[in-house]
Amino acid sequence: MRKEKYEVVVVGAGPAGSVAAKTAAERGAEVLLIERNAEIGTPVKCAEGVSKELERFVEVDRKWVCAGVSGITTYGPNGTKFVLTGEGTAEAGYVLDRRLFDRFLAQQAADAGAEVRVRTQACGLVREAGVGTSEGGAGTVKGVYARSTEAGRSAEAGEGEGVRISADVVVAADGVESRVGRWAGIETRLRPSEVATCAEFLICGIEFNRDYCELFFGDEIAPKGYAWVFPKGGDCANVGVGIGGDVSGEKHRAFDYLRAFVRERFPDGAGKVVAEICGAVPLSGPLRETTADGLVLVGDAARHVNPFTGGGILYAIQAGEIAGEVVAKAVREKNFSKRRLREYEKRWRKEFGRVLWVGLKMKNVVLGLSSQELARFFQALDGEVRMKEYSERAFMREVIKRNSRFLYSLARFLI
């Protein structure tokens, strides 16, 4: 088995992993970023929408923006229509090309000095004693065991070259399934009720509102979830459905609801499906612990997704930036203990932990409403709102304000 040594190894080249790698490398750490897929940014598992808050973290490049949108239009199951737009701006958000966006972030990491390696899958953790571990192991994390493959070969099948990558800190950015977190003894398992299963078509040749992202609610459309139509430029749109994992079953899977939604929304065979994707979104709220000795978890691996909206791109970028700063400090100080790395956890909780907590409470309240209460919930949202600050936080604040009967107790947490 080949042996290598880095100060930081990041597992997963999504937004969280790439930003963590870039930030740590900019601060002088020797970083390796590994990605199990052959191409960064594929397969896409995202509706690709993001608010204009993105500009806080990266300089927007139109090469990876498919469409600018003026806001969000939400349709309730009883015919209500809630339009949310930004005040004094033509664009309140963007629909991205995640393949190009993710590659852009990985390229930034490389430009900052990180080594980026694809077709390399983590298959275990290196411990302080230099021994690999399985789920439930103990001891300080000191790197990963990985397997690098060539085209047509499978690391999961045990093919490819094994490599022992020693590192002072491992950043787990390996998505919703996060095996790295489990190997470190962190409880990352999700119940079906804590996951949304999603299916999406990229459809061209259809008529839709090209200025807004549209959300559609209703048990017949998407039980415990919603459907969406997001502009992708021209006459193309991402059309998808996300449903609760605990209601998914035979003939009632996300693709079944998606096909029904497309038939209803675009009748007579309008449009052409040019791509299909599927995926899962964690809706559990963040993990109780996102650090261990020699390890931090970021992005979907840490459950940095808003359980009410399903949005996670901005939280992933924020978490990656904080993680990169903290692990670079740990490298300089030669202190990789859980206690030292908890700075990362304290900072992300201060930055956006409260929003995720409120999102979880909102999700639980809404899913607990009766049919009559749910109808009143959406009736209260009927109308149009223009906001100076167009953001997910502002969207949630407006929903709470208009539904004080159900959500008033949460209002003070978003002020």
What are the phi and psi torsion angles at 337 (to 5°)? Answer: -70, 160
User: Residue 258: which residues within 8 A CB-CB, separation 6 or more?
Assistant: 199, 200, 201, 227, 239, 240, 241
pLDDT of residue 356: 96
pLDDT of residue 133: 41
Pair 120, 36: CB distance under 8 Å: yes
pLDDT of residue 276: 95
- In angstroms, the CA 407 to CA 366 distance is 9
pLDDT of residue 136: 42
pLDDT of residue 361: 94
Return the number of other C-beta atoms located less than 10 Å from residue 404's C-beta. 12
The tokens for 54 are: 């993105």
pLDDT in tens, the chain (415 residues): 899 999 999 999 999 999 999 999 999 999 999 999 999 998 888 889 999 999 999 999 999 999 999 999 999 998 899 999 887 777 899 999 999 999 999 999 999 999 999 999 999 999 985 444 444 446 799 999 999 986 545 555 556 789 999 999 999 999 998 999 999 999 999 999 999 999 999 999 999 999 999 999 999 999 999 999 999 999 999 999 999 999 999 889 999 999 999 999 998 878 999 999 999 999 999 999 999 999 999 999 999 999 999 999 999 999 999 999 999 999 999 999 999 999 999 999 999 999 999 999 999 999 998 888 988 999 999 999 888 777 888 888 889 989 888 887 676 665 5
Domain regions of the chain by residue span = 2-44+100-190+287-358, 192-282
Task: Given CATH 3.40.50.80, say whether it is the number of domain 192-282.
Answer: no
3-state SS, residue 53: helix
pLDDT of residue 149: 81
Return the number of other C-beta atoms located less than 10 Å from residue 402's C-beta. 19
What are the phi and psi torsion angles at 103 (to 5°)? Answer: -70, -35
Secondary structure element (H or E) that encloses residue 155, with its range: none
pLDDT of residue 130: 41
Pair 276, 199: CB distance under 8 Å: yes
Please list the residues that pair with 31 across neighbouring strands. Answer: 8
- In angstroms, the CA 162 to CA 149 distance is 9
pTM reported for the whole predicted model: 0.93
Give the distance, in angstroms, between the CA of residue 295 and the centroid of all CA atoms in the same chain. Answer: 20
Neighbour-count burial of 37, counting CB atoms closer than 10 A to its CB (0-12 exposed, 13-18 middle, 19+ buried): middle
Same fold for the pair 2-44+100-190+287-358 and 192-282: no
Q: Which fold has domain 2-44+100-190+287-358?
A: FAD/NAD(P)-binding domain (3.50.50)
User: If we measure between CA atoms, which residue out of 13, 297, 9 comes closest to residue 146?
Assistant: 9
Neighbour-count burial of 90, counting CB atoms closer than 10 A to its CB (0-12 exposed, 13-18 middle, 19+ buried): exposed
